[in-house]
Chains A and B, each alone.
Chain A
Amino acid sequence: MVKYVLYRILLFIPTLLIISLVVFYVGTLAPGSPINKYCDSEEINFENEIERSKACQSAAYKLGLDLPRFYFSLTQRAFPDDFYKILQKTHQNNLESLILQYGNWDEIEEYYESRIRLQNLLLKLPKSENNDQIIELKSLANQLIVTSDNDKIIKVFDEMQSIFDKQGSLSLDIESEYENVISSYGKVISNQSIQNLWIPKLVWHGFNNQYHNWISNFIKGDFGVSYFDGRKVSSRIKMAMKWTLIMNLVAIFFAYFISIPIGVYSAVHKNSLFDRLMTIALFLLHSLPVFWIGTMLIVFFTTSEYGAWTDIFPTGGLSSLSSDASYWSRFWDTAYHLVLPIFCITYGAFAFITRQMRNGMLNVFGQQYMVTAKAKGLHQKEIIWKHGFKNGIFPLISMFATIFPAALAGSTVVEIIFSIPGMGRLAYDGILQQDWPVVNAILLLSAFLTIFGYLVADILYKLLDPRVKF
Chain B
Amino acid sequence: MADHVGSLFLPGDLIQNLKESEATKKILLGPGLRQENDLILTSKPGILRFREPNVYWIDSPQKRYVPVKGDAVLGIVTQKMGDVFRVDVGASESATLPYIAFEGATKRNRPDVKVGDIVFARFSVANKDMEAELVCIDKHGRSNGMGVIRDGGFLHHCSINQVRKILNPENVLLKTLGKNMKFETAVGMNGRVWVKGRNINETIAIINALAVSEFMTNEQTLSMCKKLADSLAGF
Q: Are A and B subunits of one complex?
A: no
Q: A-side interface residues toward B, CB under 8 Å? A: none
